Amino acid sequence: MSESNNIIRPELKSFAPYSAHTSPDTLKEQFGLSIDEIIKLDANENPYGCLPEVNRALSEYKSFGVYPDAGQQELRNSLSKYTGIEPERIVAGAGSDQLIDLLMRLIIRPGDEIINLPPTFGMYSFYARLAGARTVSVERDGNFDINLNEIENRITPLTRLIFIANPNNPSGNLTPKKYIKRLLDRGIYIVVDEAYYEFSRETVMDWVENYDNLMILRSFSKWAGLAGLRVGYGVFPLEIADYLMRIKDPYSVNAAAQIAVTESLKNRERLFKQVQIILSERQRLYDKLRAIDGIVACPSVANYILCICSKCNASMVVQELKNRGILVRYFDVPRLRHCIRISIGKPEQNDILVESIREILGEGN
């Protein structure tokens, strides 16, 4: 065994990398096409990208040679105005992913447990494992609703956090607020991940003052089109926010991301209009997918639709779409093996997608 293999933590030796959507560089290599030439519906990004104001502000900024503000003062103030929550409770990160990681590092001792509600966003169990926590999985039911009684049964003295993606990724459905309340009333720390809030408009932000065990995560990757700049934020109980600010990497949110957030929030009405366009496209795409024999589209309040292939092989469909330069998301886990998650694209992209699926399934003209 090599030296380096010996110093790796044994419990991480079988760690599989996060199976991410295809990156722009890989796409170029694989297809010889640039990112703009591919119909990329696999990562719930905003098909319209960021606002032109963001690009303009970035090109005019003259101080990239200087470190950004480690205290995130201006950023936290802008986020405070946006959320209505005091800045001291807000911590920004390089994507909300980074805040999940930080939270685990702050809270988890080896052997602690987190409760995860799969199928759901993969990074909760990813970072839990990295931090040495045991992930207790309570599967969602056939409609992807959480199983409240079973969650309560699985709470132990070792339970540190429960993660609820709301809406859930990949299923696109919401957890009723009264369920979240019931769990909060148990006194366990609950992370409500509202990465898709601007699409769903459902939030528990107004409960933050009343529950000192509630944490909320948000992202600029989806609605604001800033996925590549990596910026998200969380709203935490005061003491936790204070500790997160102490342990975070000082410059976790880079200067470009900070500028992009300021510009996006300044021009948020424009972004909201874009969100509206995406939402009407979601309805149009949903109706078209529903009309395809063999595809069951799940209702969604987010910017993606989970489709269950009732008569076809989902991985074959995903591969066939890929061959045509259309990327959608496949999850190679038993519960989702018959499913495809499709992000809402521009109208013309959605039309090509639907036509391609129809052709692949032999429904084409």
Contacts to ligand PLP by CB under 6 A: 44, 95-97, 121, 165, 169, 193, 195, 219, 221, 227, 232
* Spatial contact of 148 and 102, defined as CB atoms under 8 Å apart: no
The residue behind tokens 């990724």 is 169
Q: How far is the CB of 34 from ligand PLP (least distance, A)?
A: 22
Q: How far is the CB of 197 from ligand PLP (least distance, A)?
A: 10
Q: How far is the CB of 359 from ligand PLP (least distance, A)?
A: 29
What are φ and ψ of residue 276, in 5° steps?
-60, -40
Enumerate the β-bridge partners of residue 93: 232
What are φ and ψ of residue 349, in 5° steps?
-70, -45
Q: How far is the CB of 99 from ligand PLP (least distance, A)?
A: 8
d(CA 300, CA 339): 14
In Å, what is the CA distance from 38 to each residue of 41, 226, 251, 285?
Answer: 9, 18, 33, 18
Q: How far is the CB of 262 from ligand PLP (least distance, A)?
A: 17
* Spatial contact of 204 and 216, defined as CB atoms under 8 Å apart: yes
Nearer to ligand PLP, 193 or 263 (CB): 193
Q: Which two tokens stand for residue 274?
A: 């874009």
Nearer to ligand PLP, 159 or 221 (CB): 221
Q: Which residue is nearest to ligand PLP (CB)?
A: 95
Nearer to ligand PLP, 46 or 221 (CB): 221
Greatest pairwise CA separation for the chain in angstroms? 62
In Å, what is the CA distance from 214 to each residue of 67, 121, 211, 244, 338?
Answer: 32, 19, 6, 15, 34
Nearer to ligand PLP, 331 or 356 (CB): 331
Length of the chain equals 365
Nearer to ligand PLP, 105 or 324 (CB): 105
Q: How far is the CB of 6 from ligand PLP (least distance, A)?
A: 33
* Spatial contact of 221 and 193, defined as CB atoms under 8 Å apart: no
Q: How far is the CB of 71 from ligand PLP (least distance, A)?
A: 20
Q: How far is the CB of 163 from ligand PLP (least distance, A)?
A: 9
Nearer to ligand PLP, 165 or 357 (CB): 165
- DSSP, res 161: E
- DSSP, res 356: H
Enumerate the β-bridge partners of residue 339: 308
SS3 266: helix
Nearer to ligand PLP, 232 or 354 (CB): 232
Nearer to ligand PLP, 233 or 286 (CB): 233
Q: In terms of Cα–Cα distance, which of 213, 168, 205, 210 is closest to 187?
A: 213
Q: How far is CA 51 from the centre of its chain?
A: 20
Q: How far is the CB of 87 from ligand PLP (least distance, A)?
A: 19
d(CA 343, CA 329): 8
d(CA 77, CA 153): 40
Nearer to ligand PLP, 97 or 198 (CB): 97
The residue behind tokens 């519960």 is 335
* Spatial contact of 274 and 266, defined as CB atoms under 8 Å apart: no
Nearer to ligand PLP, 260 or 360 (CB): 260
Distance linking the first and last C-alpha atoms of the chain: 59
Q: How far is the CB of 310 from ligand PLP (least distance, A)?
A: 25
